[in-house]
Amino acid sequence: MGKFKFADLLAVAISVVPYIVWFILRDSLPEKVPTHWGIDGEVNGWTDRDQLPLMLALVTAVGLVTYILLRFIKHLDPKRNAQLNENTAIKIGIGALVLITGINLLVLIPKGNGFDMTTIIFVMVSLLFTFLGNLMYNIKPNYFIGIRLPWTLENEDNWKQTHRLAGIVWFVGGIICTILALVLAPKMMFTVFISATILLVAIPGVYSFMLFKQQRT
């Protein structure tokens, strides 16, 4: 289904980083390790130190499965005549894996009293939006990634224009959300982030529908 790529080796290397860090820090970790935070930034979940490797494995598996699906998405997509850019799909997979690995590392590193996991997660996801926005213009018509609407899938010009706008909106929106995450309280940022996410999806969708209506007249 495809030759082994450097990106595959990179994906494996990224995935094992948390285990290397765990091996180094395992004796210094507390008996109960904070592993979940509420929208107010306060810890509301812990995991026993001995169970951390299992938790790391489960979280890592999510990232690896996401990468593998995107790595071979071109072979799974029934719209294969669209010539989906395989490298773009791989970059998205690597981006998702970096986010997952970052979350694992944040769980492992020592934390002071001022540590705010929720804010850091908002920053990381916002930067992922910026990263994805930078790739939008390279995503060709397919049934798995991108703004997949009936009118974008059936009209290549609609797809291109919609993703050109989406790229700008996601890139700028990601930067704005990153800045806001650093200045707003986590609870307030949660509302802002949900609202921003809805806008990032809705704006290209509405624009795409408007193009569809124009093309029919």
Q: 77 falls in which pLDDT band (50, 70, 90)? A: low
pLDDT in tens, 79-124: 554 456 778 889 999 999 999 999 999 888 877 666 788 899 999 9
The residues, ordered by sequence, that sit 6+ positions from 177 with a Cβ below 8 Å of its Cβ are 122, 126, 129, 192, 193, 196
Residue 138 has pLDDT above 50, yes or no: yes
**SS3 annotation, 115-166:** CCHHHHHHHHHHHHHHHHHHHHHHCCCCCCCCCCCHHHHHCHHHHHHHHHHH
- Lowest mean pLDDT: which of 147-151, 179-183, 206-210? 147-151
Contact 16, 97 (CB under 8 A): no
pLDDT in tens, 160-181: 999 999 999 999 999 999 999 9
pLDDT for the residue numbered 43: 81
Q: 217 falls in which pLDDT band (50, 70, 90)? A: low
Burial (Cβ within 10 Å: 0-12, 13-18, ≥19) of residue 89: buried
Residue 62 has pLDDT above 80, yes or no: yes
pLDDT for the residue numbered 139: 87
What is the rounded distance in angstroms from the CA atom of residue 173 to the CA atom of residue 181?
12
pLDDT in tens, 33-60: 888 887 877 788 888 888 899 999 999 9
What is the rounded distance in angstroms from the CA atom of residue 133 to the CA atom of residue 68?
21
AA letter at 174: G
* Higher pLDDT, residue 34 or 78: 34
Residue 78 has pLDDT above 80, yes or no: no
Contact 141, 63 (CB under 8 A): no
The residues, ordered by sequence, that sit 6+ positions from 46 with a Cβ below 8 Å of its Cβ are 32, 33, 34, 35, 36
What the block records as the tokens of 99 is: 């986010």
What is the rounded distance in angstroms from the CA atom of residue 86 to the CA atom of residue 201?
23
Average pLDDT over residues 70-84: 66
**Number of residues written out for the chain:** 217
SS3 content of the chain, % helix, strand, coil (to 5): 75, 5, 20
pLDDT for the residue numbered 38: 79
pLDDT for the residue numbered 216: 76
pLDDT more than 90, % of the chain: 53
Residue 76 has pLDDT above 80, yes or no: no
What is the rounded distance in angstroms from the CA atom of residue 172 to the CA atom of residue 133?
8
Between the alpha carbon of residue 207 and those of residues 147, 165, 177, 203, the distances in Å are 11, 8, 22, 6
User: Residue 34 forms beta bridges with which residues?
Assistant: 46
pLDDT for the residue numbered 181: 94
- C-alpha count within 13 angstroms, C-beta hemisphere, residue 20: 7
